[in-house]
Amino acid sequence: MWDNLSLKEVVEYANDPYPSIRKWAKDSGKRVVGSTIADVPEEVIHAFGLLPVSLIGTQKPLKKAPSRLPDNACSLARSNLELVMSYEGDLFDGFVLPQVCDTTQHLSDIWRITFPDKYVESFLAPRQAGRPSARYWVKEEIERLIASLSKWTDKTLTDQDLKESVRIHNENKVLLKEIYGIKRTNPAAITNKEMFALIKLSMQVDKAEINKSLKNIRDSLNPEKKTDGYTDVILVGITCDPPEVYDLFDEVKINIAGDTLVTGTRYLQGVVPDNGTPVDSLTERHFKRGFYSPIHDDVYKNFNEVKALYTATNAKAIIYVHIEFCESEEYDLPDLKKMIRKEGIPMHVVDTEYQTTSLSHVRTRLQAFFESLRGGSL
């Protein structure tokens, strides 16, 4: 199904992966478990013979979700609930929902009530990851998830099952990193839209299959350095949707040379170290990922990581993708803006909403920003 895809097909599948997931689940007889982002250890779900699928919203119209959520719930939360309530509910046998912010904390109860016939489990990631107790907490949560899935599937997990799952997931991230590396040196080899579609689709489909496509795609790309006409930027935020936003970047020859997205580099940072028991290694991985708006306890971490990435990639500007009504980003953004501007670094904020039907205002502002940047007036 996903083992011999061209880049064009990857973009198509990433736009709407659900028909292919539905067919794959029917053919394989496997059950499908959805998770909202972020930090659910998908390797654990996979090791039970289930298909973990990251839920990353829908652009289809909101019909039912607004009746269950306050008006100021973020666009991603509304869109994910709508995706399951109105469009793809039949596909999922269960959900593992992380509680990372106030919105997701309330949402997991709403999902439980809304889908009483499905398996619904929560995953409580510690928000203050720097505390000494955080490691103990994450390990306990992973073990609690294993016990819960074991009960639901009536299967006992072995270390070997989990190690094999970790191997497949690690391979996926390493392949994506290699492709991203080629994109950095030769932006003409793969567009921004294609690159982030590869990551998004990898978060939603069977890794063993898509890894085969990734190998073919990696081997077909020209890795020679060739950056003429492109402007390197870094992309900061949680997600970047709708995917047409990447078209706008591609139109003005922006090369995303680095990012902090959960649907980008933060996913690739999830390679599990190969030491200790698999549960210990998965626990360790949790603390190796980069900044994520709702989970941190160092107010300077966001700024320090963004600045380090900007410097390391030799980028010319920062683009911040703000999801409408994301409370975590709304706390972070004013401070980040102030600190970045103090450094004299050009920064542009793109406001996004999953149900956007027109991006003309985003295009106009982005073009104006880049004309000023190239003219040196920022």
Query: Given the complex with ligand SF4, which of 11 and 37 has the nearer CB atom?
Result: 37
Asked if residues 53 and 21 have their Cβ atoms less than 8 Å apart, the reply is: yes
Tell me how far, at minimum, the Cβ of 155 lies from ligand SF4, in Å: 30
Q: What does the alpha-carbon distance between residue 260 and residue 247 come to, in Å, rounded to a whole number?
A: 19
Side-chain half-sphere of 322: how many Cα atoms within 13 Å? 19
Query: Given the complex with ligand SF4, which of 102 and 343 has the nearer CB atom?
Result: 102
Tell me how far, at minimum, the Cβ of 6 lies from ligand SF4, in Å: 31
SS3 272: coil
What sections of 92-191 are H helices per DSSP? Answer: 102-114, 133-153, 159-185
Query: Would you call 137 exposed, middle or buried from its count of C-beta atoms within 10 A (0-12, 13-18, 19+)?
Result: middle
Q: What does the alpha-carbon distance between residue 171 and residue 271 come to, in Å, rounded to a whole number?
A: 8
- Which residues sit at the interface with ligand SF4, rule CB under 6 A? 74, 76-77, 100-101, 103-104, 238, 293-294, 323, 326-329
Q: What does the alpha-carbon distance between residue 319 and residue 256 come to, in Å, rounded to a whole number?
A: 9
Tell me how far, at minimum, the Cβ of 94 lies from ligand SF4, in Å: 19
Q: What does the alpha-carbon distance between residue 300 and residue 339 come to, in Å, rounded to a whole number?
A: 9
Q: What does the alpha-carbon distance between residue 190 and residue 193 come to, in Å, rounded to a whole number?
A: 8
**Please, what is the end-to-end C-alpha distance for the chain in angstroms?**
47
Query: Given the complex with ligand SF4, which of 257 and 295 has the nearer CB atom?
Result: 295
Query: Given the complex with ligand SF4, which of 12 and 327 has the nearer CB atom?
Result: 327
Q: Of 13, 15, 17, which is closest to residue 244 (Cα–Cα)? A: 15
The owner of tokens 């870094």 is 234
Tell me how far, at minimum, the Cβ of 46 lies from ligand SF4, in Å: 23
Query: Given the complex with ligand SF4, which of 297 and 343 has the nearer CB atom?
Result: 297
Tell me how far, at minimum, the Cβ of 18 lies from ligand SF4, in Å: 20
Tell me how far, at minimum, the Cβ of 327 lies from ligand SF4, in Å: 5
Query: Given the complex with ligand SF4, which of 335 and 343 has the nearer CB atom?
Result: 335
Query: Given the complex with ligand SF4, which of 122 and 255 has the nearer CB atom?
Result: 122
Tell me how far, at minimum, the Cβ of 37 lies from ligand SF4, in Å: 7
